[in-house]
């Protein structure tokens, strides 16, 4: 596997010389300041590509070339936005950058309720608390029919929480779910936007008429438009699974399980229609058996996120240590090293360790926590390679 690292560009506090020192080979990045839907110009692409090369590294993976909301819900502007997307792919292809991550999650990318959940060893982790998420859904968004998504026992706890939660905790919850976790990845809502809840509710309403089948058809259309250019330039499109892999907030989610992935890969059956095997996202669903899925999809996997989670009996989940949890990362490395050995991997969502918490890194993208996980996974890769 090729060892890569997600770097957020020239302003990232974790610099390329730091990454050289810890054994990173390839860089995963995006032109984060270009708004969704606009073309990535050859100048901007080459500027970043050359900057990375000047530091002795190379741009291996684009994560992400974001898909505009209108493409997902099939808005009037779809064809213009797809044409722009294709032009960005052409420009990336000309620059020799050929692994492109995207997701097709409506409105909200990944979902967490806590960015700083303290663990007994003194580190902290991202966390998903089902009751507080249900509270956000039922009491803050006041989504019609939301209670139906939760059990009566869960709803009792949600009502209790609604009586005790402070205004400050409510504001932190809103900020975490729809601003902090989204803003840095070209999300729909950015820090400083007035009334994020209203913006978010408006976005949700765009999907009132869109069910899983409609969303699937929109993805199929999008991919079929892209494939000729991907074939011409040898670009692999790598869809990222839904995180967590469940239906949420009444939105359709279509990358949650082996069946979903199979549908996508068959819907447009080109080798360039591929997968980002995000072990963290997939492992947060008890219905997913990761080693089985890795074996099944290895030949169409062009990028992996090595990350693991632990799902708790109450439905919460937490980021696990990279050597533990439902991700079974050691087994996954064995499978990918055998079936598709040269694909890039990156670690993902490290814990906050030492002074990470004071540095203001993007949520999940600490330095020490990720460096620790990167070293763990580098050891696993070297060991597995030695086994053959």
* 60 near ligand DNO, rule: CB under 6 A: no
β strands within the chain, DSSP E: 2-6, 26-29, 58-63, 99-103, 114-118, 124-128, 236-240, 273-278, 301-306, 309-311, 317-319, 344-347
Look-up: residue for tokens 């030949």? 299
Q: Binder to ligand DNO among 60, 64, 304, 309 (CB under 6 A)?
A: 64
Q: How many angstroms separate the CA atoms of 286 and 280, rounded?
A: 12
* Shortest distance in whole angstroms from residue 340 CB to ligand DNO: 20
Nearer to ligand DNO, 327 or 364 (CB): 364
Q: Binder to ligand DNO among 29, 68, 84, 103 (CB under 6 A)?
A: 103
Active-site entry in 114, 137, 316, 348: 348
DSSP string, 166-198: -HHHHHHHHIIIIIIHHHTTT-SS-TT-S-HHH
Q: Binder to ligand DNO among 110, 135, 150, 297 (CB under 6 A)?
A: 110
Q: Catalytic residue at 349?
A: yes
- For residue 278, count CB atoms less than 10 angstroms from its CB and return exposed for 0-12, middle for 13-18, buried for 19 or more: buried
Site residues (CB under 6 A) for ligand DNO, limited to 326-365:
348, 364
Nearer to ligand DNO, 4 or 103 (CB): 103
Q: How many angstroms separate the CA atoms of 301 and 291, rounded?
A: 13
Active-site entry in 305, 328, 356, 372: 305
* Shortest distance in whole angstroms from residue 108 CB to ligand DNO: 10
Active-site entry in 349, 356, 361, 372: 349
Q: Catalytic residue at 365?
A: yes
Q: Binder to ligand DNO among 62, 101, 111, 230 (CB under 6 A)?
A: 101
Token pair for 243: 């995180």
Q: Catalytic residue at 348?
A: yes
Q: Is 354 helix (H, G, I), strand (E, B) or coil?
A: coil
Q: Number of residues in contact with ligand DNO, rule: CB under 6 A? A: 11
Residue 34's nearest CA partner among 97, 91, 108, 95 is 91
- Tell me how far the alpha carbon of residue 174 is from its chain's centroid: 19
- Cβ neighbors of 322 (< 8 A, separation 6 or more) are 306, 307, 308, 329, 347, 373, 376, 377
Active-site entry in 85, 278, 302, 361: 278
Q: How many angstroms separate the CA atoms of 3 and 284, rounded?
A: 24
Q: Binder to ligand DNO among 98, 130, 240, 300 (CB under 6 A)?
A: 240
- Tell me how far the alpha carbon of residue 48 is from its chain's centroid: 22
**Of the ranges 100-108, 193-201, 222-230, 320-328, which one interacts with ligand DNO (CB under 6 A)?**
100-108
* 63 near ligand DNO, rule: CB under 6 A: yes
Q: Catalytic residue at 240?
A: yes
* Shortest distance in whole angstroms from residue 105 CB to ligand DNO: 7
Number of neighbouring beta carbons within 10 Å of residue 294: 23
Look-up: residue for tokens 């007035």? 194
Q: Catalytic residue at 207?
A: no
* Shortest distance in whole angstroms from residue 276 CB to ligand DNO: 7
Q: Binder to ligand DNO among 185, 203, 298, 347 (CB under 6 A)?
A: 185
Q: Binder to ligand DNO among 59, 102, 117, 127 (CB under 6 A)?
A: 102
* 255 near ligand DNO, rule: CB under 6 A: no
Q: How many angstroms separate the CA atoms of 173 and 269, rounded?
A: 41
Q: Catalytic residue at 32?
A: no
- Give the phi and the psi of residue 104 in degrees, each rounded to 5: -130, 40
Nearer to ligand DNO, 196 or 364 (CB): 364
**Of the ranges 97-105, 154-162, 267-275, 328-336, which one interacts with ligand DNO (CB under 6 A)?**
97-105
Active site residues: 240, 278, 305, 348-349, 365
Q: Give contact residues for ligand DNO (rule: CB under 6 A).
A: 63-64, 101-103, 109-110, 185, 240, 348, 364
């Amino acid at each position: 596997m090729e060892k890569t690292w997600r770097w957020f560009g020239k302003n990232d506090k974790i610099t390329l010389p730091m990454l050289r020192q810890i054994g990173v080979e390839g860089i995963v990045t995006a032109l984060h300041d270009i708004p969704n839907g606009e073309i990535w110009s050859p100048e901007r692409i080459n500027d970043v590509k050359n900057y990375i090369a000047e530091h002795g590294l190379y741009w291996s993976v684009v994560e992400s070339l974001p898909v505009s909301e209108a493409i997902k819900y099939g808005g009037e502007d779809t064809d213009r936005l797809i044409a722009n997307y294709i032009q960005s792919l052409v420009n990336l292809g000309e620059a020799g950058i050929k692994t492109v991550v995207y997701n097709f999650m409506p409105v909200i990318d990944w979902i967490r309720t806590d960015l700083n959940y303290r663990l007994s060893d003194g580190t902290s982790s991202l966390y998903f608390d089902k009751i507080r998420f249900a509270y956000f859904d039922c009491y803050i968004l006041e989504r019609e029919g939301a209670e139906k998504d939760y059990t009566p026992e869960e709803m009792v706890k949600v009502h209790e929480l609604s009586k005790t939660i402070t205004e400050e905790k409510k504001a932190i919850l809103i900020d975490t779910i729809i601003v902090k976790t989204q803003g840095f990845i070209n999300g729909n809502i950015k820090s400083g936007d007035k009334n994020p809840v209203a913006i978010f509710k408006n976005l949700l309403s765009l999907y009132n008429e869109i069910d899983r089948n409609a969303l699937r058809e929109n993805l199929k259309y999008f991919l079929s438009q892209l494939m000729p250019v991907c074939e011409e330039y040898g670009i692999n499109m790598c869809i990222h699974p839904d995180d967590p892999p469940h239906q949420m907030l009444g939105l359709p989610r279509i990358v949650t399980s082996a069946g979903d992935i199979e549908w996508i890969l068959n819907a447009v059956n080109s080798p360039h229609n591929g997968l980002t095997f995000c072990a963290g996202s997939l492992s947060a669903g008890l219905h997913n058996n990761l080693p089985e899925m890795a074996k099944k999809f290895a030949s169409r996997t062009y990028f992996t996120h090595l990350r693991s989670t632990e799902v708790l009996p109450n439905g919460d989940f937490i980021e696990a240590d990279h050597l533990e949890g439902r991700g079974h990362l050691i087994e996954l490395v064995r499978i990918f090293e055998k079936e598709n050995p040269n694909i890039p991997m990156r670690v993902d969502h490290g814990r906050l360790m030492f002074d990470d918490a004071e540095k203001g890194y993007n949520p999940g993208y600490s330095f020490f926590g990720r460096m620790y996980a990167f070293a763990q996974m580098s050891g696993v890769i070297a060991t597995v390679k030695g086994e053959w």
